[in-house]
Amino acid sequence: MLDIKFIRDNPDAVRENIRKKFQDAKLPLVDEVLALDSENRAAITEASDLRAKRNTLSKQIGVLMGQSKKDPAKLQEAEAVKAQVKANADRLAGLEQREAELEERIHKIMLQIPNMIDPSVPIGPDDSHNVELERFGEPSVPDFEIPYHTEIMERFNGIDMDAAGRVSGNGFYYFLGDIARLHEAVLAYARDFMIGKGFTFCIPPFMIRGNVAEGVMSQTDMDAMMYKVEGEDLYLIGTSEHSMIGRFMDQILPESSLPQTLTSYSPCFRKEKGAHGVEERGVYRIHQFEKQEMIVVCKPEDSMDWYEKMWRFSVELFRSLDIPVRQLECCSGDLADLKVKSCDIEAWSPRQKKYFEVCSCSNMGDAQARRLKIRVKGEDGKNYLPHTLNNTVVAPPRMLIAFLENNLQADGSVLVPAPLRPYMGGTEIMMPKK
């Protein structure tokens, strides 16, 4: 969400940014919000003048009433001033109501105008124009056939999607035995990995109020992703970033407390509407999963440095588990409206012979801070908006697809890399049950 003052001073830049995001339908919003803003500022000015006059006229009435004891004509003058006060009060009430209406309309429009993207973001209409920047690890394809990921799990008696379908419907799963243990081992390893990077571990609320959801994401994403609790102002989180950033809502943070570096565990719930390809079935795209997340709240001048550090943390973690990855920079048309810059970390799939997304790192600039009224008190005593960033550490079960495919052996066993073994009871090789 932009500052209305920025739009006032830079309307052409805002329009050009909308064009770069291929959202031309939103171009009229700029003129509309500027017209409403102009009307609102005029109403505020007039209302302020009327309040000042009210005080002056009230004093004038007092003087005239005092003089009327000696001069009855002054009483008539006082009544005329009272009539003026009444007329001004009626006008003021109308202006205050109009201000409230205008501010609500302006707010709704401002939520729709996209954030200013960083100049380094590649320009393109959709994810087909995302740009590969760097690869880490050598992708390889073994000389044996790699089964679909749910087939690998079934060999370990590790998954039951049929029962989950009966209990909950499509998009859910039961994990069992070694696969369930591997799932939790990955999360525990990711937690300790981030703690080792100096991040504070947190378990946040798994439901948030509507104003928090509105503060951390666009209305389009909110409608497409989130499950609402019927009859209550509560939503199930789609990622712990939502409740983690919401923690700082309406707060003024001392500058000395920055950066806030937190890593959080949570279940995540997403509608995942629409049709998906065959490789996105199984446990690739589901309604419920668990995730370890990282978020940073920092000074504006430090946010790009943190962006670089955060996506590299993901690369380091995946490489420690023998999974080749690449960094893919998101183009302008693939950026959600609140994002300044974003990249995906994609893992190599030997089965598909291509990379697929496992992490997403985003710099949100001051958009979330402005929406949630998160401020920092600087050393000079002035308040300013911090920048917020988020990145996936790991999100099993999707991450397990990459892990199983890249560590699968010809006999159906799965190698357990050294970093995971302490979380797997020392197991070095997972042996299939069938």
Between the alpha carbon of residue 109 and those of residues 3, 17, 103, 120, 225, the distances in Å are 12, 16, 10, 27, 21
Q: In a 10 Å sphere around its CB, with 0-12 CB exposed, 13-18 middle and 19+ buried, how is residue 287 labelled?
A: middle
Q: Are 76 and 183 in contact (CB under 8 A)?
A: no
CATH topology of domain 127-430: BirA Bifunctional Protein; domain 2 (3.30.930)
Residue 213, judged by CB atoms within 10 A of its CB (0-12, 13-18, 19+), counts as buried
**pTM for the full predicted model:** 0.89
Residues near 343 by Cβ (< 8 Å), separated by ≥ 6?
A: 133, 311, 327, 328, 329, 330, 360, 361
| Closest CA relative to residue 335, chosen from 157, 29, 125 | 125
Backbone angles phi, psi at 249, to 5 degrees: -55, 135
Note the pLDDT of residue 275.
45
What is the structure's pLDDT at 76? 67
- Strands 325-329, 383-384: pairing kind: unpaired
The 3-state DSSP composition of the chain as helix, strand, coil percent (nearest 5) reads 50, 20, 30
In the chain, where the domains are located? 4-110, 127-430
Contact 384, 375 (CB under 8 A): yes
4-110: CATH architecture:
Orthogonal Bundle (1.10)
For residues 300 and 237, the answer to whether their CB atoms sit within 8 Å is no
Q: How many other C-beta atoms lie within 10 A of the C-beta of residue 48?
A: 12
With beta carbons less than 8 A apart as the criterion, state whether 219 and 337 touch. Answer: no
Interatomic CA distance for residues 396 and 284, integer angstroms: 9
**For every one of its 434 residues, what pLDDT tens digit does the chain have, with 9 covering 90 and above?**
899 999 999 999 999 999 999 999 999 999 999 999 999 999 999 998 888 787 677 666 666 666 665 566 666 676 676 777 778 888 889 999 999 999 999 999 999 999 999 999 999 999 999 999 999 999 999 999 999 999 999 999 999 999 999 999 988 999 999 999 999 999 999 999 999 999 999 999 999 999 999 999 887 777 788 999 999 999 999 999 999 999 999 999 999 999 999 999 999 999 976 544 444 578 888 999 999 999 999 999 999 999 999 999 999 999 999 999 999 999 999 999 999 999 999 999 999 999 999 999 999 999 999 999 999 999 999 999 999 999 999 999 899 999 999 999 999 999 999 999 999 999 999 999 98
